[in-house]
């Protein structure tokens, strides 16, 4: 049986991590494999410091023995490895399926290089089939939902065990079914302007490299073309 594509890309991405780096540690079933591989390398002598993007990746990294730091000790991150729910040809992403989008976006924004690890099912010609996660404050989230629906989606409050899902930051998530997103940067800006929205799962201009795992156990790497200056 071919190896799990998520495991293949997680391990491949960890090859980009070098001694001395500050490394952003993503969240989700694919990023988990990268953290596991980094743990192995740390136990073999690799010297890195990690910044987790969620309580889940924090716990895993701690169990793996990866030294952790926070933003009080650094100003930038050398490299981050994270997953995604959808990736379009321009390297726009939908993230937040696991509810960690706010910390993931803060870490991605502070990263010199953001590597996204996905299996090939995540590649889409256009974003939007996966409902866009939007993190909102618990106070007045219904108002934000109305504003989001005015942008052309159906927004559902994410729940867990019959209660509103609570993020690591104490907020809620609205999963916004747009169906198709024609202009991700424009929609990201519109959503950011809504009062009560903390952050949305559209990541535009943040991913530098995509590593794609195929069903046959191989992987393909794509680098974002540099904009013409």
Positions in the binding site for ligand 5RP (CB under 6 A):
26-31, 82-85, 95-101, 104
Least separation in angstroms between CB 153 and ligand 5RP: 18
Q: Which of 86, 104, 114, 199 is an active site residue?
A: 104
Least separation in angstroms between CB 33 and ligand 5RP: 9
- To the query of whether residue 55 is one of the catalytic residues in this protein, the response is no
CB closer to ligand 5RP out of 32 and 153:
32
DSSP the chain: -PPPHHHHHHHHHHTT--TT-EEEE--SHHHHHHHHHHHHHHHTT---EEEESSHHHHHHHHHHT--B--TTT-S-EEEEEE--SEE-TT--EE--TTS-HHHHHHHHHTEEEEEEEEEGGGB-SSS-SSPEEEEE-STTHHHHHHHHHHTT-EEEE-EETTEE---TTS-EEEEEE-S--S-HHHHHHHHHTSTTEEEESEE-S---EEEEE-TTS-EEEEEPPPPP-
Residue 130 region by backbone torsions, left for phi larger than 0, else alpha for psi between -120 and 50, else beta: beta
CB closer to ligand 5RP out of 42 and 53:
53
CB closer to ligand 5RP out of 146 and 201:
201
CB closer to ligand 5RP out of 48 and 93:
93
CB closer to ligand 5RP out of 39 and 133:
133
Least separation in angstroms between CB 193 and ligand 5RP: 22
> Within 13 Å and on the Cβ side, how many CA atoms surround 152?
9
Least separation in angstroms between CB 28 and ligand 5RP: 3
Least separation in angstroms between CB 100 and ligand 5RP: 4
Catalytic residue numbers?
Answer: 104
């Amino acid at each position: 049986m071919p190896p799990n594509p998520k495991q293949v890309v997680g391990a491949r991405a960890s090859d980009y991590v070098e001694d001395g780096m500050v490394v952003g540690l993503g969240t989700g079933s694919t990023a988990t494999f990268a953290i596991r591989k980094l743990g192995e390398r740390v136990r073999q002598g690799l010297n890195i410091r990690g910044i987790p993007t969620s309580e889940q990746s924090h716990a895993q990294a701690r169990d793996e023995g990866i030294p952790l730091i926070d933003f009080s000790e650094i100003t930038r991150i050398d490299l981050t490895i994270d997953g995604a729910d959808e990736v379009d040809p321009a390297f726009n992403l939908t993230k937040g399926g696991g509810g960690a989008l706010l910390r993931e976006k803060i870490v991605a924004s502070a990263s010199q290089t953001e590597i996204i690890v996905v299996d090939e099912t995540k590649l889409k010609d256009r974003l939007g089939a996966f409902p866009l996660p939007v993190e909102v404050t618990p106070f007045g989230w219904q108002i934000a939902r109305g504003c989001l629906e005015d942008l052309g989606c159906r927004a559902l409050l994410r729940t867990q065990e019959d209660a509103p899902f609570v993020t690591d930051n104490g907020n809620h998530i609205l999963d916004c079914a747009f169906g198709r997103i024609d202009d991700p940067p424009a929609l990201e800006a519109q959503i950011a302007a809504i009062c009560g929205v903390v952050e949305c799962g559209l990541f535009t201009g943040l991913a530098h490299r995509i590593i794609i795992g195929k069903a046959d156990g191989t992987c393909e790497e794509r680098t974002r073309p540099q904009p013409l200056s």
